[in-house]
A and B are shown apart, each in its own frame.
Chain A
Amino acid sequence: MDSKHYLPPLVCGFGAAVLTTIPGVKSLGCCLIVPLAAILSLFLDHKINKTELPFRFKNAMFLGLLTGIFATFFSTFFDVLMTYILHTNEFVQTLPQTEELVRQYKLGVLLNQTMGMLKQMSKDIQQNGFSLFYIAGIFFSNFIINSIFGTLGGLLGLSFINKKVKK
């Protein structure tokens, strides 16, 4: 694939990451931000690179997946950057409530180990603005979820664009 084909997913992935970082926009867009970015990525690819229509299945899936992956990199980067600047984040702020909730169930050693790890992460963030475990955790969860939603968006975009062509 030509390197020009990577530009639309890069731009749309960046846009999706920015939007997911803004709390107000997130409450409006919810789970549709990354799929919409993937659909837009297909449109842009067609406009910029004059991709032949109808779109091919594997190309649409690839563009959607790539949008999700780029969104993951950028959103993780923004999260890390904000955490580094502020030395706090949602995870640190909600940890006491999570602990309070979880402590009610008296789960013994397993709970103590889990909470110990989470508290260490929280301590690292508050002291250094950085926790390797936290970054690995958010990157992994973002990667899985954005890849799935990006691919689904690519497939929806494929269906949408190809139906427009048929019309």
Chain B
Amino acid sequence: MVWCFGFSFESLFPNSSLAIVSYPILKHAYGEVCHQLPSKTFLIGSQKLLVCARCTGIYLGALLISFFSLFFIKKLNFGIKLLYISLAPMLIDVIFSTLNIYKYSKLIAFGTGIFFGSIVFVYILAAIENNFIDKKPEKNG
């Protein structure tokens, strides 16, 4: 949530002095993990987000599924196929738009990103939860 707030901070509070002063720092920090090309970035109001449409999708997907998992997902035991399925649309979109088979679309990038981000978060959460489940018998034994 903090991460998502960081890349949209300047867009959400464009007149805040903190947002303006922190802009160069945040821009560099997010630039480390994203190309930040203006043509591939969403505009909120008149301000660009600090990450591209695909990264926005990935982070928002992870954020949404993290809220969702608090209430609805009880058991995290998915096969590996789901990870491949979530990766495939994003990979296809990257390859096709790079090879100019079709024109880059922010919405497609965002959509494939949100799908991938939400599934990846489930796998990371599963790794953490399984660690605690595995530890329980050790403590009892």
- A43 and B57 CA atoms in complex are apart in Å by 28
> Which residues of B, 116-141, contact A by the 8 Å Cβ criterion?
120, 123-124, 126-128, 130-131, 134
A40 contacts B by Cβ under 8 Å: no
Q: For residue B117, which residue of chain A has the nearest CB?
A: A31
Q: Which residue of A lies closest to B10 (CB)?
A: A101
> In the complex, A125 Cα to B76 Cα: how many Å?
50
Contact with B along A106-121 (1 / 0, CB 8 A): 0100110010001000
Q: Assess A159 versus B37: contact at CB under 8 Å? Given A98-B24, A107-B17.
A: no
Residues of B within 8 A of A145 (CB): 29, 32-33
Number of A residues with CB within 8 Å of any CB on chain B: 40
Interface SS of A by simple majority = helix
Q: Are B28 and A141 in contact (CB under 8 A)?
A: yes
Chain A residue contacts of B134, Cβ below 8 A: 57
Assess whether A10 is interfacial by the CB under 8 Å rule: no
For window 58-116 of chain A, which residues contact chain B by CB distance below 8 Å?
Answer: 60, 75, 90-91, 98, 101-102, 105, 107, 110-111, 114
Residue of B nearest to A57 (CB): B131
**Cβ-defined contact, B131 with A31, below 8 A:** no
* Interface contact A30-B33, CB-CB below 8 Å: yes
How far, in whole Å, are A23 and B36 apart by their CA atoms in the complex? Answer: 11
What does DSSP make chain B's interface, helix, strand, loop or mixed? helix
Pairs across A and B, CB under 8 Å, 28 listed: A23-B35, A27-B37, A27-B40, A28-B94, A28-B98, A30-B34, A30-B52, A31-B34, A34-B33, A57-B128, A57-B130, A60-B127, A75-B32, A98-B24, A102-B20, A105-B15, A105-B20, A107-B17, A111-B20, A114-B21, A114-B24, A138-B28, A145-B32, A156-B120, A159-B126, A162-B130, A163-B80, A167-B80
Q: A91-B28, A107-B20 are in contact. List 16 more A-B contacts (CB 8 A).
A: A20-B32, A27-B37, A27-B40, A28-B98, A30-B52, A31-B34, A31-B55, A57-B127, A57-B130, A98-B27, A107-B17, A111-B21, A145-B29, A159-B126, A160-B83, A160-B123
Q: Which residues of A contact B (CB under 8 A)?
A: 20, 23, 26-28, 30-31, 34, 57, 60, 75, 90-91, 98, 101-102, 105, 107, 110-111, 114, 118, 137-138, 141-142, 144-146, 149, 152, 155-156, 158-160, 162-164, 167
